[in-house]
Amino acid sequence: MSFVRQAVRATRQVRTYATPAASATLPPIQLNGLSGKYAGALFTAAAKKDAAALKKVESDLLAVKAAIKAEPSIQDFLANPVLSSSDKSSGIDALLSKASPKSAASDLTKNFFEGEVKVTITTAQPLEKDLQKRLEEALKGSALAGSGKTLIIENKVNDAVLGGLVVDFGDKTVDLSVASKVNKLNAQISGKSPPSLFSIPNASPY
């Protein structure tokens, strides 16, 4: 199944669950297959922002779905492996502008169609360029990032993590922070459940 078919199917699936509260960052229905994985990741990324972002993504995807249905050749263009990433990106921008002329498409929607994954790395101190580059290479080579994806790396500084790092991308979070280890240790001592990542002030990448 081509990426465009996956996107169209994801549009249909997102339409099913695009109205819950933004606090519910996981799809309320079970999504199967690769297209379901993409739809779930898009849903979570939007839900982490707010209800308005979730609604905007739904609107964008429905507009794109209608545009592809009206002009099937668009699907061939997007699936063309010969096109450079810059040409495809320009074509996607034009498609989104035509599909939703009254309001600009959200960055989440653009990233979804352009195969980009926003990665937020939260650290107590700014990452050195060499370390950030090595982290980027490691993430690119991981199964978590997905094949054929372009990573957009952002480093956020939050001294509440104490040390280590927290990596957020799509619907995934890898918490390697010192704060997380301290919380777990305190929980073991007190016999209570450790607080979630998002109890750390400003730790959320969204």
Instruction: Look at residue 17 in the predicted model and tell me its pLDDT.
Output: 46
Q: What is the mean pLDDT of residues 1-13?
A: 43
Pairing of strands 165-169, 150-157: unpaired
Q: What is the mean pLDDT of residues 106-129?
A: 77
Alpha helices by DSSP H, listed for the chain, are: 3-17, 33-49, 51-70, 73-79, 85-99, 107-114, 129-140, 178-190
Reply yes or no on whether the pLDDT at 193 is more than 70.
no
Give pLDDT tens digits for 39-95. 666 667 777 777 677 777 777 777 777 777 777 777 777 667 677 666 767 777 777
Instruction: Look at residue 157 in the predicted model and tell me its pLDDT.
Output: 93
CA distance 92 to 3: 13
Kindly state the tokens that stand for 159.
């001294």
CA distance 115 to 2: 13
Instruction: Look at residue 18 in the predicted model and tell me its pLDDT.
Output: 44
Reply yes or no on whether the pLDDT at 133 is more than 80.
yes
Nearest Cα to 158, choosing from 198, 122, 195, 199?
A: 122
Q: CB under 8 Å to 100, separation ≥6 — which residues? A: 59, 60, 63, 64
Give pLDDT tens digits for 136-187. 888 777 765 655 566 778 899 998 888 888 888 766 788 888 888 888 878 8
Phi, psi of 158 (to 5 degrees): -145, 105
Matching residue, tokens 């339409």: 15
pLDDT bracket for residue 105 (50, 70, 90): low
Burial class (CB in 10 A: 0-12, 13-18, 19+), 96: buried
Q: Per DSSP, what are the bridge partners of residue 120?
A: 154, 168
What is the CB neighbour count within 10 angstroms for residue 176?
13
Instruction: Look at residue 62 in the predicted model and tell me its pLDDT.
Output: 74
